[in-house]
Amino acid sequence: MSETTILPSYLVDRWQTGSGDGAPVLDAVTGEEVTRVSTEGLDLAAAVGHAREVGGPALRELGFTARAELVKALAGALAERKQELYDLSARAGCTRADAKVDVDGGFGTAMVFAGLGRKGLPEGNLLVEDEEIPLGRGGTFAGRHVLTPLRGVALQINAFNFPVWGMLEKLAPALIAGVPTIVKPATQTVYVAEHAVRIMLEAGVLPDGALQLVSGSVPGVFDLLGGQDMVGFTGSAGTAAKLRSDPAVTRRSVRFNAEADSLNSSVLGPDAAPGTPEFDLFVGALVTEMTVKAGQKCTAIRRAFVPSGRLDEVTDAVSARLAEVVVGAPGADGVTMGALVGRDQRDDVRAQVERIRSQADLVFGDPTSVEVVGADAERGAFLSPILLRSTDRSARAPHEVEAFGPVSTLLPYDGVGDLVEQVARGEGSLAGSVVSADADFVRDAVVGMAPLHGRILVLDRDCAGESTGHGTPMPQLVHGGPGRAGGGEEEGGLRAVRHHLQRTAVQGGPGLAEALAR
């Protein structure tokens, strides 16, 4: 294998290629090799040093609002060249609609952050957080909190399913905050992220050292991090647990934010009988969440709770809609669901489905075979949508096993108390939804479910037209979740910028903070 097929990394302001044969990255649809990755011989210590010594000072020279302008320019560059990213996303199994969720979602999110930063942040590098707090009777001594950019580097480790959005939702707030960034995309879709980085660099607006990219693994990088650095991680709970226990985090207090996996719930209200708009909204949302990105979304509905008397009606309605799904090559005639990211991922999903099936019935789909349009079903990572149903109240698997694909389980409930007890078995989720027009039920369900979720959508006939949907995190709102979901928080408007700033209580004479901000 010649070295030219290795996907480059962008370190210390130049494209560099790791040595050796590297590891192959395969096309999700054809199984052919797309590229190879290797970071052998790359100097990650130099990259971290470059970010701290060159990127940080250059970004801080600009101030908050100028940096927000810069992020706007990056988003604009990506928007202009989105077609290139759609084309590459197809190799990762994404239909055009899937690619838009990632690509348009990515630059759209960056655009929103840029707008919030331009309007809501001051020009310099000091943000005064609150009103002056008097600390003396005579009025000559007071305190206040100020926020300033960390002087280190943000290492952003992303999951395979959103190579563009997952990067931008972290990168935009970090750059606006003034923290230089090293992006480490997941290997399976690194070629999409690499191209997005290339587009952003070619926009020519970033100062040296502000953005670096590692295409491949990052051995030893945590040893290089210290108390002014932060890690933004998205991926599985297992990897999160491993990284969280690194001495960089436990001893040197590197800030560590995790967005991990999640058994997200959607709830059909007792009022939503067949024939009501809410019943149709619930069924439609479930099918959408199962099939967009072939269900490879951290926010996808894995558990669909239904009043026990409605289980058969919902099973029939969802199955009928799933029967209309056409699985196949992105772009092929009529295809509405693409491939999983790779055959390993498909094997993993099949194994997880078997675990859930040990405590649930399969009511739609065949995990072992699927009819495929425009591609070879075995070469590509194709899988049928799989609907399961569990009526065994002691079953744990549907609440604990994440099958990261087009897989969901229907579960019956009897009353809000039972519902919340079952939802809690997921041990913390990113997103939940309650589909109901019954205000009393909605209140009890949302109050009960809120401590277990980072975000809850209440969907009814009145808001459905403008609703952004169960699975879509909004840059203005918090994304993250307690417990198993990682216990982290991203997005949430300017909160995301503040996560990259140090809060300092300053004490002194009245007007001190204003004087510092000048």
Which among 181-189, 205-213, 302-310, 320-328 is the span making contact with ligand NAP, rule CB under 6 A? Answer: 181-189
**Whole-angstrom Cα distance, residue 172 to residue 110?**
5
Sign of the dihedral defined by the CA atoms of residues 9, 13, 14, 17, in that order: negative
Which two three-digit tokens encode residue 506? 């300053």
**Whole-angstrom Cα distance, residue 483 to residue 283?**
28
Look at residues 35, 21, 44, 9 and name the one whose alpha carbon lies nearest to residue 214: 9
DSSP summary character for residue 319: H
CB-side neighbour CA atoms (13 Å) of 295:
31
Q: Catalytic: which of 259, 289, 489, 490? A: 259
Look at residues 381, 295, 374 and name the one whose alpha carbon lies nearest to residue 339: 381
Look at residues 409, 415, 421 and name the one whose alpha carbon lies nearest to residue 451: 421
DSSP summary character for residue 395: -
**Whole-angstrom Cα distance, residue 217 to residue 184?**
8
Q: Which residue has the tokens 């970033």?
A: 206
Please say which residue, 404 or 413, places its beta carbon nearer to ligand NAP. 404
Q: Which residue is nearest to ligand NAP (CB)?
A: 235
Q: Backbone phi, then psi, for 506, in 5-degree steps? A: -110, 140
Among 54, 66, 203, 218, binds ligand NAP (CB under 6 A): 218
H or E element at residue 134:
strand 133-134
Q: How far is the CB of 159 from ligand NAP (least distance, A)?
A: 3
Active site residue 298: yes
Q: Are 423 and 413 in contact (CB under 8 A)?
A: no
Give yes or no for residue 260 binding ligand NAP (CB under 6 A).
Answer: yes
**Widest Cα–Cα separation across the chain:** 80
Q: How far is the CB of 246 from ligand NAP (least distance, A)?
A: 8
Give yes or no for residue 359 binding ligand NAP (CB under 6 A).
Answer: no
Give yes or no for residue 467 binding ligand NAP (CB under 6 A).
Answer: no
Q: Catalytic: which of 298, 489, 490, 491? A: 298
**Whole-angstrom Cα distance, residue 326 to residue 324?**
6
Residues 473 to 492: which contact ligand NAP by CB under 6 A? 486
Please say which residue, 113 or 160, places its beta carbon nearer to ligand NAP. 160
Residues 389 to 448: which contact ligand NAP by CB under 6 A? 402, 404, 430
Give yes or no for residue 71 binding ligand NAP (CB under 6 A).
Answer: no
Residues 108 to 167: which contact ligand NAP by CB under 6 A? 157-162
Sign of the dihedral defined by the CA atoms of residues 87, 90, 95, 101, in that order: negative
Query: How, if at all, do strands 211-213 and 181-184 pair?
Result: parallel
Among 5, 217, 476, 502, binds ligand NAP (CB under 6 A): 217
Q: How far is the CB of 356 from ligand NAP (least distance, A)?
A: 15
Please say which residue, 235 or 406, places its beta carbon nearer to ligand NAP. 235
Give yes or no for residue 239 binding ligand NAP (CB under 6 A).
Answer: yes
Q: Are 218 and 192 in contact (CB under 8 A)?
A: no
Q: How far is the CB of 130 from ligand NAP (least distance, A)?
A: 30
Please say which residue, 246 or 280, places its beta carbon nearer to ligand NAP. 246
Give every CB contact of residue 316 below 8 A, 6+ residues apart in sequence. none
Which among 47-55, 255-263, 318-326, 416-424 is the span making contact with ligand NAP, rule CB under 6 A? Answer: 255-263
Which among 100-108, 233-241, 275-283, 415-423 is the span making contact with ligand NAP, rule CB under 6 A? Answer: 233-241
Active site residue 313: no
Q: How far is the CB of 7 from ligand NAP (least distance, A)?
A: 12
Q: Are 454 and 485 in contact (CB under 8 A)?
A: yes
Q: How far is the CB of 243 from ligand NAP (least distance, A)?
A: 6
Please say which residue, 218 or 362, places its beta carbon nearer to ligand NAP. 218
Which among 146-154, 182-190, 247-255, 502-510 is the span making contact with ligand NAP, rule CB under 6 A? Answer: 182-190
Residues 295 to 354: which contact ligand NAP by CB under 6 A? 298
Q: Is 259 exposed, middle or buried (0-12, 13-18, 19+ CB in 10 A)?
A: buried
Sign of the dihedral defined by the CA atoms of residues 253, 477, 293, 37, in that order: negative
Q: How far is the CB of 490 from ligand NAP (least distance, A)?
A: 7
Q: How far is the CB of 479 from ligand NAP (least distance, A)?
A: 6
Residues in contact with ligand NAP by CB under 6 A are 157-162, 184, 186-187, 217-218, 234-236, 239, 243, 259-261, 298, 402, 404, 430, 486
Instruction: Report the catalytic residues.
Output: 259, 298
